[in-house]
Structure 1
Amino acid sequence: MISKREATLNYLILGFFAVIALFPLLGVLSSALTDPANSSASLTLPDSPHFANFLTAWNQGHFGTYMRSSAIVTVSVVVLASILAILAGYAFATMRFRGQSVLFYLLLLGLMVPSEALIIPLYYDLRDIGLTDTYWSLIFPQIAQSLAFATFWMRNFFRGIPTSLIEAAQLDGATRWGVLWRILVPISKPALLTMSMLIFMWTWNEFLMPLVMITAEDLKTAPLGLAFFQGQHTSQFSLLAAGATIVAAPVVVVYLFLQRHFIAGMLSGAVK
């Protein structure tokens, strides 16, 4: 049992590292609320909140268009990758078929090969079939990138479920499809939400793929739009900070909304 002294020391250490992690974020937010006339590259504290910076950055940076593109791509990737991961993870965890181990380890190669090594041949392949400058040129590759981790994650969770539960459902007449969607998926909610949140963050923050695949202005994603906005406002630090806050806001909101499920999913994965 942890003593009161040890608990206090743990909270102090965690609090110290929390301050280190939050300080840059608070610095960006403080700069975003500073009057543009008083902003600088160093940390500035606003005399009064200047919320107009967000509206100015939103209008000048066309973030409405960029955020819409990011939302379309991210939601599509999260939904499709999650469905495929559930199906693949269930198959690898509960079924036995020829070449299962070889196929699974082949799938795991996706965790080891960096996207930078594939981006050029991928661009030429997608260009040859006419998919560049479309949402599909972002959705399909990022589903493939996420699927290796997602399948591995769901397979490990399904393998941790007692086989007696599955056998009992099958004795009651449930098919494999029914066991998956009526029993396993509902109890895997923490793991599924954690996986979906990680895929959401990776997809939303992806920069290289849109940079290579997209040239049309109305298809650019938020991180790519922020990079161009930065190039146009190199000395307007308040507007840059406001733009960065706008782009980061969806990830922060999703995390705050799902943090309990995220922690529960991480803990269940650690226990198993």
Structure 2
Amino acid sequence: MIRKYSVLISLAVLAVVMLVPFAVVTLNAVRSPEDYSANGPLSLPDGLHFDGIVEFWNRVDFGGKLWNSLLISGSVAVLAVVLSVLNAYALGVGRVRGRVWIMVVFLVANTLPQEALVYPLYYLAKEAGLYDTRLSMIIIFTVIQSAFGTYLLASVLGRFPHEILEAAAIDGAGKWRALWRIVVPVSRPTLSVLLIFFFIWTWNEFFLPLIFLISNENQTVPVALGVLQGDKMMDATMSSASALLGVLPAVVFFLIFQRTLTRGVTVGAIK
């Protein structure tokens, strides 16, 4: 009993520690610069002032940046999951020749730092005419995320009951139909977890979008926030507003799909 409550108290303290910075940023985002200068960052605001949020939104065209991030992250999440399923089905269920070495390649690909990929990707994007386009980011991050997804799903599908697939084959289902009618529905919890992770990971990407998206109209939210850190015209309240607007969409997305994520992890653990 003592151990149970000690763990609960520790988790509550950890949650408070993690939420305090977010609460401070939120309070400073809705206060006036004069109030911030007079009372400091840790005091309660004297009222709700949304001037910093509105000014930041208009200055960086945050609506356009938000759309770019949503388009890139959403497209990558869906395409990476589909590509991971196709690759993993061939490796885990199909048992293609050289499967072990292919898995090693995917494992090595997951360990490569992005700094090592910059020049070849930059050269390929230039040659293909895709530099400074959102499509280039979608293609690059789809391949990067699917490398991890393939490695994970191939291990999961490698233990998929072959009796089910043999029964489906006897009933006349081909490999393509067995994939979408049997394997995908059974693996839906794992795929849902991958979809959420791919979206959040891509949303938080900064280094490659900073290099490949140089036009203001193509930039994502993290790039816009990073570029504005050196802007001397931004006061503390506007900086807090930028941080709040930058992290809020990812938090909302996580809260919406939290139950799906929990269910997927729990089902995977039970299996």
After TM superposition, the score normalised by the length of structure 1 is 0.91
Q: How does 1:1-272 map to 2 (within 5 A)?
A: 4-39=1-36, 42-233=41-232, 235-271=234-270
Distance in 2, Cα, partners of 1:65 & 1:46: 30
Distance in 2, Cα, partners of 1:233 & 1:167: 66
The Cα shift of 1:210 comes to 1.4
Secondary structure class of the residue paired with 2:129: coil
Secondary structure class of the residue paired with 1:137: helix
Kindly provide the CA deviation profile for residues 2-59 of structure 1, in whole angstroms up to 9, marking residues without a partner as x.
xx43322221111111112111111211211222222257434212222343222211
The Cα shift of 1:86 comes to 0.9
The Cα shift of 1:84 comes to 0.3
Query: What letter matches 2:103 in structure 1?
Result: F
Q: Is the 8 A contact 1:34 1:44 kept in 2?
A: no
CA RMSD of aligned residues (A): 1.9
Q: Is the 8 A contact 2:106 2:148 kept in 1?
A: no
The Cα shift of 1:255 comes to 0.7
The Cα shift of 1:235 comes to 5.0
Distance in 1, Cα, partners of 2:214 & 2:182: 45
Distance in 1, Cα, partners of 2:176 & 2:210: 40
Distance in 1, Cα, partners of 2:182 & 2:171: 12
Residue identity (%): 35
Pick which of 135-144 and 152-161 moved more: 152-161
Query: What letter matches 1:126 in structure 2?
Result: A
Query: What letter matches 1:77 in structure 2?
Result: V
Kindly provide the CA deviation profile for residues 139-190 of structure 1, in whole angstroms up to 9, marking residues without a partner as x.
1211121111111222233234333332332232222111211122122222
Q: Is the 8 A contact 1:153 1:195 kept in 2?
A: no
Distance in 2, Cα, partners of 1:232 & 1:178: 55
Query: What letter matches 2:57 in structure 1?
Result: W
Q: Which runs of 5+ in 2 are unaligned?
A: none
Q: Is the 8 A contact 1:132 1:214 kept in 2?
A: yes
The Cα shift of 1:233 comes to 4.9
Q: Is the 8 A contact 2:189 2:268 kept in 1?
A: no
Q: Is the 8 A contact 1:157 1:269 kept in 2?
A: no
Distance in 2, Cα, partners of 1:271 & 1:157: 13
Structure 1 residues 68, 76: closer, same or farther in 2, change over 3 A?
same
After TM superposition, the score normalised by the length of structure 2 is 0.91
Structure 1 residues 12, 169: closer, same or farther in 2, change over 3 A?
same
Q: Is the 8 A contact 1:27 1:43 kept in 2?
A: yes
Pick which of 160-169 and 6-15 moved more: 160-169
Distance in 1, Cα, partners of 2:196 & 2:147: 15
The Cα shift of 1:119 comes to 0.9
